[in-house]
Amino acid sequence: MLGNYVNTIAIIVGTILGLLIHKGLKEDYKDTMMQAIGLSVLFIGAATALNGLLDPESEAILFIISLVIGGVVGEMLGLDGALNRLGQFLQNRVGRGDHNVARGFVTASLIFCVGTMAIIGSLESGLRGNYDMLFAKSILDGVTSMILATTLGIGVAFSAAAVFIYQGAIIVFAGTLEPILTIQVIREISIIGGILIFAIGLNMLEIIKVRTVNLLPAVLVPILYYFIVFPLYKQIF
């Protein structure tokens, strides 16, 4: 778990540094930085999704099916509303007038959790005690959290808890998850994750309002596809 501890601490430290910078910024600078970060998030999301889609072995329409099914499930569960209530609770507790608590938490959590480094690094840590990838991810997440916190505020710090729980679960159950989180599954999850990050960028730039949280169940659909639907299809055809 050492790599996960380091990753969590890096996010918290990065957020603190970002908040210190945030205090000294004028509103015009904050607006410009928000636009810059929004554009960067768009690029990160697009690059992540395209990297997976350009793989000749990727499933051409699986991400579309996953997003539709995931969106329906997310709407039924009311995930977006639940997270907004959590954000409101945190804002009332520690926000101190910061209206970006929920957005900072969601944005940072998705960026830090949906990439391949989080999954593969956690598997390597749990199976082989190799922390190199999580250490590298810690540096990236620390810098990213600092930048995000300059505009999204303290909400970014709460993403450290999401990262710790998410990566910690993969580490603890690595032996069980290794056969499930295959290269194919991780690739498809990364494609969906990239699209969700792209949607966050759209929200940050206020181009369109996407209920990104309601789309989160989409990341589970590739697992069901490769271990239930695909084997049945091969048996029939």
What's the rounded Cα separation, in Å, for the pair 106 and 118?
A: 16
Provide, rounded to the nearest whole percent, the portion of the chain with pLDDT above 70. 92
The pLDDT of residue 204 is 82
Q: How confident is the model at residue 95 (pLDDT cuts 50, 70, 90)?
A: low
Whole-angstrom distance, CA of residue 39 vs CA of residue 20: 23
Q: Which two tokens stand for residue 218?
A: 């989409």
Distance CA 202, CA 207 (A): 5
pLDDT category of residue 94 using cuts at 50, 70 and 90: low
Residue 61 neighbours by CB under 8 Å, 6+ apart: none
CA angle 160, 166, 40 (to 5 degrees): 60
Question: For 49-76, what is each residue's pLDDT tens digit?
Answer: 998 888 888 887 899 999 999 999 999 9
- Report residue 56 CA to chain centroid gap: 25
User: How confident is the model at residue 96, as a pLDDT?
Assistant: 57
Read off the pLDDT of residues 96-109 as tens digits, 9 standing for 90 and up: 555 567 778 888 88
pLDDT at 111: 85
Distances (CA, A) of 187 to 94, 112, 180, 192: 37, 16, 13, 9
Report the pLDDT averaged over residues 83-110: 73
Question: What residue ranges do the domains of the chain occupy?
Answer: 2-59+79-213
Tell me the pLDDT of the chain averaged across its residues: 85
Sign of CA dihedral 203, 72, 80, 107: negative
pLDDT 10s digits, 143-173: 989 988 888 888 899 899 989 999 999 999 9
Residue 129's φ and ψ, nearest 5 degrees, are 65, 25
The single-letter code of the amino acid at 47 is A
Mean pLDDT confidence for 3-7: 92
Digit-coded pLDDT (tens) for 15-54: 999 988 877 777 777 778 888 888 988 988 898 899 888 8
Q: What integer pLDDT is reported at residue 235 of this predicted model?
A: 66
Residue 27: its pLDDT value, please?
74
